[in-house]
């Protein structure tokens, strides 16, 4: 049986923390779909298509990882894809409340889909897309936080920052 995991999120933009979770998820699932959605609570820097392209470019060497965009309810999308589980990264206690609420709401909406939490490497626990955007917009160096395709796209968005990839 092909065990599919869905890793949903805004990915605005993808960080090394996300990449770490994707890699860990490939050890548990036969295939992992990175599913890009709109989070109504957040203002996006990149369009969903741009974010998808950046995830694709940053994960192209990973077998069994695909990238998709979805609208509507996550559980409906997960059921359509016949996914076994929703994967979410958990960095710190501060993530827990929102993640707990979301997991239980999703279980209420579809009790057949489990949510599993994966912890990124500890060196990424302070990292967030929001912080990466803020640092880049103020001219700070984000090269150790994002993959090369994302760094390139961020340099174009914020021309004052022209940092080189450290990978």
Active site residue 133: no
Instruction: Give the tokens for residue 110.
Output: 């579809």
Contact 16, 127 (CB under 8 A): yes
In whole angstroms, how far apart are CA 16 and each of 11, 70, 108, 114, 125? 11, 22, 31, 25, 10
Q: Which of 4, 7, 9, 113 lies at the binding interface for ligand PNS (CB under 6 A)? A: 9
| Shortest distance in whole angstroms from residue 162 CB to ligand PNS | 27
How many Cβ atoms are within 10 Å of 85's Cβ, its own excluded?
A: 18
91 is a catalytic site residue: yes
Asked whether 33 and 26 are in contact (CB, 8 A), the reply is no
10, 88, 129, 133: the active-site residue: 129
Give min distance, CB of 118 to ligand PNS, in A.
14
Nearest distance from residue 75's CB to ligand PNS, in Å?
A: 6
Rounded to a whole number of angstroms, the minimum distance from the CB of residue 70 to ligand PNS is 8
Annotated catalytic, 129?
Answer: yes
- The reply to whether 120 sits near ligand PNS by the rule CB under 6 A is no
* Strand 85-89 to 4-9 pairing: parallel
Contact set for ligand PNS, span 19-58 (CB under 6 A): 37, 39, 42
Give the residue among 125, 150, 122 at the shortest CA–CA distance from 12: 150
Which residue among 57, 62, 69, 73 contacts ligand PNS (CB under 6 A)? 73
Q: Which stretch, 5-13, 57-65, 132-140, 144-152, contacts ligand PNS (CB under 6 A)? A: 5-13
CA distances for 27 relative to 24, 68, 92, 119, 130, angstroms: 5, 20, 22, 14, 28
Interface contacts to ligand PNS, rule CB under 6 A? 8-10, 37, 39, 42, 73-74, 102, 105-106
Residues belonging to the active site:
18, 42, 91, 129
């Amino acid at each position: 049986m092909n065990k599919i995991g869905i890793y949903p999120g805004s990915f605005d933009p993808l960080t090394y923390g996300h990449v770490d979770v994707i890699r860990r998820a490939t050890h548990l699932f036969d295939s992992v779909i990175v599913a890009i959605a709109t989070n109504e609570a957040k203002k996006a820097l990149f369009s969903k298509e741009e974010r998808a392209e950046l995830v694709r470019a940053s994960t192209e060497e990973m077998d069994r990882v695909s990238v998709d965009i979805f609208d509507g309810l996550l559980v409906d999308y997960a059921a359509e894809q016949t996914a076994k589980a929703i994967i979410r990264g958990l960095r710190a206690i501060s993530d827990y409340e929102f993640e707990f609420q979301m997991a239980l709401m999703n279980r209420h909406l579809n009790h057949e889909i489990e949510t599993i939490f994966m912890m990124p490497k500890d060196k990424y626990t302070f990292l967030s897309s929001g912080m990466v955007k803020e640092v880049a917009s103020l001219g700070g160096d984000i090269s150790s936080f994002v993959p090369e395709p994302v760094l390139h796209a961020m340099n174009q968005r914020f021309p004052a920052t022209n940092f080189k990839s450290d990978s």
